Every structure is written in C-alpha cells, then in structure tokens.
Amino acid sequence: MGREALQAAIANYRGEEWKDDHEEGALICKCFAIDAVMIEEMVWANKLRTVQDVTNFTKAGGGCASCHEDIEAILERVLAEKGEKFDPEAPAAKPEPVVAAAKGPMTNLQRIKKIEQVLESLRPTLLADGGDVELVEVIGNTAYVNMTGACSGCQMAAMTVAGIQQRLMEVLGEFIKVVPASQMPKEAVGA
C-alpha cells in the first residue's frame, strides 16, 4: 500500500476525511511510512542526536533498519545547520523524566495528574507544528486524548499518539494506552 493510501486508510478507519496538509518529502522509512520532512522537523524540535533518538520519537528506523543510513544523513545535515556535529557513536539520549517515575501502584487521580504533566511538557512541540493535544478521560490504563489543530486526522496524529504513549509509559513506569477520544466507549461519554 502506498503512503497516501495508507494515510487515507488511517483517516477512514477513524471516520475522518483525509487531507494531506504536510509538506511532502522523500520517503525514508518504508516500514513506518515516514518521510524526510517529518524526521527533519522532529530532529529540529526535539534535539534528537542519534538514530535511536529518531526511532524513539518517530518510530522511523525501528523495523528492518535499512533506513538507518538515510536517517544518519538527515541527522548530519540538520545538526550541521544547527552548528553541531553528528556523532554516529553517541549514546541515545535518555529522556529526562518530567516527573519522578511512580513508586508502587498509583491512584487514578495520581495517574491523571502525571499524564497531564507529560502532555503539558509535550504541547510546545505540538504547538510548534500547529497541533495540540488535550486529555479527555482516563479509564484504567487507557488515556483518551483529543488531537487538534493542523495535525488532527493526518498520519502525523497517529505517530504523535504513539510518541505520547511511549513517553507516558517511560514516566509512569507502567503500561498505558493512548487512544483518540473518538474511540471512547459510549458509556464513558454519557451519550
């Protein structure tokens, strides 16, 4: 399936109309359908330094690894623009915990507070890209979020949701699933 067809399928699955409002770039990671523009933006916005950093943020490079050379080339180029040198041997950045990892089981209120803190810390990056995220509900280990702005409904939103989920799991120290609020159970919506 081509990239556009995949994006359209994702939108269709969510009952949304697909509209590609991102600048097109060369497809770099075929496993995850991620293009050069997206990787460049993520490297710029999130101070990524290594292929592993890029994989952690975008999933690009997390499959067959055949795109690693291309990702390195992007890192080299973008870091050079920032006046930095790409070091292929550099260790992957360990994300700074936004809040201390939880000790022992959390109450739902503690979980919600931590999730909100993590989302707040991620919002500047999303806002820079014309998007935003809002926590709607937390049921058990599932956080329902609203993605809004330029990226809602496009493939970026799917990847952003995956990135948010990964970050939350790092900070909360437990499995958490991030799901668009449109998929919230009807009982929870109170419809």
3-state secondary structure of 133: strand
Could you tell me if 153 and 20 are in contact, meaning their C-beta atoms sit under 8 angstroms apart? no
What kind and span of H or E run contains 34? strand 34-35
CB of 2 to ligand FES, least distance (A): 15
Helix axes 36-46, 68-81, angle to 10 degrees: 50
Residues 6+ apart with CB under 8 A from 37: 22, 23, 24, 25
Supply the minimum distance, in Å, between the C-beta of residue 19 and ligand FES: 25
For ligand FES, which is the closer residue by CB, 29 or 38?
Answer: 29
Tokens of 68: 């690693």
The minimum distance between CB 65 and ligand FES, in angstroms, equals 5
Q: How far is the CB of 149 from ligand FES (least distance, A)?
A: 27
Does 124 participate in binding ligand FES (rule CB under 6 A)? no
30 lies in the site for ligand FES, by CB under 6 A: yes
Residues between 63 and 82 that touch ligand FES (CB under 6 A): 63-67
If one asks whether residue 36 binds ligand FES (CB under 6 A), the answer comes out as: no
Residues making contact with ligand FES (CB under 6 A): 29-31, 60-67
